[in-house]
């Protein structure tokens, strides 16, 4: 991404997401997603890498849904500070939980990577990573449903 396209993206983010709690909720999710991708760097076992890539791609697809929720929440209850709008406190809580679950998924992926590199693909515990990824998706679905009620 070039300098000018990054500046345009930042202006668009400021316009759509504001600079309050909805922007921070979106950014928090993005940072957690970055952690997942950092875990994937340098995995030597192709089977383990491919399995974790599938899960990471599923998680990356969720970021667009988080953005839609945050943009809609900013349009409904604008935020420019640290105060969470009372009407949408449940939406913010669900988005925060989804970002925390995503960070936990990154930790579980790191442990799966260590186990897979030490003991082999069968011992990696990929079902735990998939379970955490499902929790993230469920949290975003719950935030979408809560936002739709308002």
Distances (CA, A) of 33 to 4, 57, 89: 24, 10, 23
Residue 84 DSSP code: P
Q: 2 falls in which pLDDT band (50, 70, 90)?
A: low
- pTM here is 0.88
The pLDDT value given to residue 1: 52
Alpha carbon 17 to chain centroid, angstroms: 16
The predicted pLDDT at position 45 comes to: 85
Give the mean pLDDT of the chain: 90
Cβ atoms of 36 and 109 within 8 Å: the answer is: yes
Going by pLDDT thresholds of 50, 70 and 90, the confidence category of residue 124 is low
Which alpha helices (H) appear in the chain, and where do they start and end?
A: 3-17, 21-40, 46-76, 89-119, 126-148
Give the span between the Cα atoms of 90 and 84, in whole angstroms. 10
What is the distance, to the nearest Å, from the Cα of residue 95 to the centroid of all Cα atoms in its chain? 9
pLDDT tens-place string over residues 66-84: 999 999 999 999 999 899 9
Q: Could you tell me how far CA 145 lies from the centroid of its own chain? A: 17
Rounded distance between C-alpha atoms, residue 98 and residue 80, angstroms: 22
Distance of CA 7 to the CA centre of its chain: 23
> 30-49: string of b/e by CB count within 10 Å (b at 16+)?
eebbebbeebbeebeeeebb
Domain ranges across the chain: 3-148
């Amino acid at each position: 991404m070039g300098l000018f396209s990054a500046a345009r993206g930042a202006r668009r983010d400021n316009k759509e997401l504001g600079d309050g709690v909805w922007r921070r909720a979106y950014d928090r999710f993005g940072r957690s997603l970055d952690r997942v991708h950092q875990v994937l760097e340098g995995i030597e076992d192709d089977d383990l890498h491919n399995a974790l890539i599938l899960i990471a791609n599923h998680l990356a697809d969720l970021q667009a849904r988080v953005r839609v929720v945050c943009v809609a929440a900013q349009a409904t209850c604008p935020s420019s500070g640290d105060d969470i709008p009372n009407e949408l406190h449940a939406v913010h809580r669900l988005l925060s939980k989804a970002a925390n679950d995503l960070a936990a998924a990154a930790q579980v992926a790191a442990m799966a990577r260590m186990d897979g590199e030490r003991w082999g693909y069968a011992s990696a515990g990929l079902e735990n990573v998939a379970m955490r990824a499902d929790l993230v998706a469920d949290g975003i679905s719950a935030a979408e449903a809560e936002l739709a009620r308002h």
